[in-house]
Amino acid sequence: MQLEFQFESFSAFLAMGNYGFYVWLSYGVSFVAMAWLIWQSQREQKQIFQQIKKELSREKQLNQRSEYMK
């Protein structure tokens, strides 16, 4: 099976029959959206872990105080 290039040149490939702007713009927007989702998810996960860490620390302090009061 031999694969053939469907366009006459690389610039024709980029132009995509005068639809290249829209094609590459959609790829760019999709890439930016995916990158933003990954960044936002990691940021939110970090915040959640920090919040859990604070809650566990508070809980530990309360347990230590209640043990001290006994």
Q: Which pLDDT does position 70 carry in this prediction? A: 65
Higher pLDDT, residue 2 or 29:
29
Q: Above 80 in pLDDT, residue 1? A: no
Burial class of 15 by CB neighbour count within 10 A (0 to 12, 13 to 18, 19+): middle
7, 13 contact by CB (below 8 A): yes
**Average pLDDT for 6-33:** 93
Domain boundaries defined on the chain: 43-70
* Percent of the chain clearing pLDDT 90 (strictly above): 67
